[in-house]
Structures are given as structure tokens and as C-alpha cells.
Amino acid sequence: MTADSWLNQLQQGGYRLTEARRAVVDVVSACDHALTPVEVYDAARQVYPALGLVSVYRTLEKLDELGLVQRVHQEGGCNAYLPHADGHQHLIICEQCGRALYFSGDDLSGLFQKVGEQHHFSITGHWLQLSGLCAECQPE
């Protein structure tokens, strides 16, 4: 029931529940790879044809604000969104099929702090994404 949980959190955040938002949430919350606004638009219109692209942008913005999605940066562009996993902040993305997967990086945070100290930086954030081929996309 991720979608329902997201809708609850939207409401909790003071936002109204509308058809447009439901459609966007349905698509994004159930997806295992990053989607651009246009991809969300196309998928969500299958359910709710009256949807406007503008509402997709606006809804993604709110989901991002609530920490429900995370922005993914890729070669081609930097405007794709993925459900945000709690606690696990690091990503692996398959170059071929686009499937995304979070992995736990508890051991890394300490390392980042250490690297920061070496260079006299106080580290406040990090961005880590691995790319490669998932099991299914690997040649024999």
C-alpha cells in the first residue's frame, strides 16, 4: 500500500487529494526505475486521461519536498524520479534496463566523514550512484 501511504502523507502535509495526484502517485510509487516527468505523464494518463503535464511537475515537486521521491542524475539528463527508500541512500542503476536498487551504506557515511576531515571539510551531504549491469542484463 505504498500509494495509500503516500497519499496520506500528502494530505498530512496539508495538500488536497485529487485525481491528478492519485494518478501520479500510483505510477511513481509502484515503479522500480527512474521516470522523467514526461514518462510519468504518459503512464498516468492511461489511468486519468485528463491529466496535465503541469500537474505532474507540481506533484513531483511536492513528493520530493515530502521526501517520498528522490531525484536521479543520469548521463542523458538529471530529471528522473524514483521512490525514496528510507535509510538507504545509495543507488545502483542498471545501464541497460534502468532498474534501480538501493543498498545500505552505513559503512560509507563514516568513511565520508573521515575523508572530509582529511581535507578540512565538514561533510553535510553526499551523492552516490553506482551504475552497471543487473543480473538479467549481463551477457553470459
Partner DNA sequence: CGCTTATTGAAAATCATTTTCAATTATAAG
Partner DNA sequence: CTTATAATTGAAAATGATTTTCAATAAGCG
> Residues 137, 100: contact at Cβ < 8 Å?
no
Q: For a copy of itself, which residue of 23, 25, 56, 94 counts as binding (CB under 8 A)?
A: 94
Which distant-in-sequence residues (6+ apart) come within 8 Å of 15 by Cβ?
Answer: 21, 62
State yes or no: residue 106 binds a copy of itself (CB under 8 A).
Answer: no
Nearest approach, Cβ of residue 101 and a copy of itself (Å): 6
Q: Which partner in DNA, a copy of itself, none is near 112 (CB below 5 to 8 A by kind)?
A: a copy of itself
CA separation for the pair 65, 128 (Å, rounded): 20
- Does residue 134 bind a copy of itself (CB under 8 A)? yes
- Shortest reach from residue 136's CB to DNA, in Å: 28
